[in-house]
């Protein structure tokens, strides 16, 4: 993490909408010897229970889901636009079948015992606080169901942002 600066969440000077939706992010859980990562573009940051939090939504069939379930912490790494091809790969193929870092050339590095990537421009280190599975009975808009032809409703994880790093 030599080329990163540790910052407080409130020092983030990042539009929370473009952070996930325009730039995409990698969610990573596990240790440097045994981790998995995947691309996400749905999520957010905010305040809950007087804590700085990040929220992600992970479908249960993702390999990364198993790693998030087994570990107390995960990282959210925002990579610059030039890595969109790498993030497309990490969002299309599973870590069950490929070594994503090897295939895309991105470099996993250790951060606080967790894993992020040297190419990241912003890293949020998150500690799981809560999860809840999306319940279709609670949709107010029937349109939402079109995102779930397989009925694979996301698990929402709310994580406390315990540390953040930027460059």
Ligand X SMILES: Cc1cc2nc3c(=O)[nH]c(=O)nc-3n(C[C@H](O)[C@H](O)[C@H](O)COP(=O)(O)O)c2cc1C
Residues in contact with ligand X by the rule CB under 6 A: 24, 36, 38-42, 57-59, 62-64, 88, 91-96, 154
Nearest of 163, 164, 121, 127 to residue 24 by alpha carbon = 121
- Residue closer to ligand X by CB (options 11, 46) is 46
- Residue closer to ligand X by CB (options 24, 165) is 24
Written as six digits, the tokens of 34 are 């045994």
**Which residues on adjacent β-strands are paired with residue 159?**
54, 128
Minimum distance from residue 164 beta carbon to ligand X (Å): 20
Nearest residue to ligand X, scored by beta-carbon proximity: 91
Written as six digits, the tokens of 59 are 């479908």
Written as six digits, the tokens of 31 are 């240790």
Minimum distance from residue 84 beta carbon to ligand X (Å): 9
Minimum distance from residue 36 beta carbon to ligand X (Å): 5
- Residue closer to ligand X by CB (options 93, 148) is 93
Minimum distance from residue 39 beta carbon to ligand X (Å): 4
- Residue closer to ligand X by CB (options 11, 145) is 145
3-state SS class at 50: coil
What ranges make up the beta strands (E) of 14-89? 25-31, 34-40, 43-48, 51-58, 73-78
């Amino acid at each position: 993490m030599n080329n990163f600066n540790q910052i407080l969440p409130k020092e983030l000077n990042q539009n929370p909408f473009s952070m996930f939706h325009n730039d995409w992010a990698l969610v990573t859980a596990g240790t440097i010897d045994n981790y998995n990562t995947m691309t996400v573009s749905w999520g957010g940051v905010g305040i809950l229970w007087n804590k700085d939090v990040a929220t992600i939504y992970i479908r249960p069939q993702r390999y990364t889901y198993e790693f998030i379930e087994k570990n107390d912490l995960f990282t959210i790494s925002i990579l610059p636009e030039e890595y969109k091809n790498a993030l497309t790969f990490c969002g299309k193929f599973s870590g069950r079948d490929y070594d994503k870092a090897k295939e895309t050339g991105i470099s996993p590095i250790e951060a606080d015992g967790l894993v992020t990537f040297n190419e990241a421009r912003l890293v949020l280190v998150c500690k799981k606080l809560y999860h809840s599975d999306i319940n279709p009975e609670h949709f107010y808009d029937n349109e939402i169901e079109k995102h779930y032809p397989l009925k694979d409703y996301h698990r929402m994880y709310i994580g406390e942002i315990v540390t953040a790093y930027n460059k």
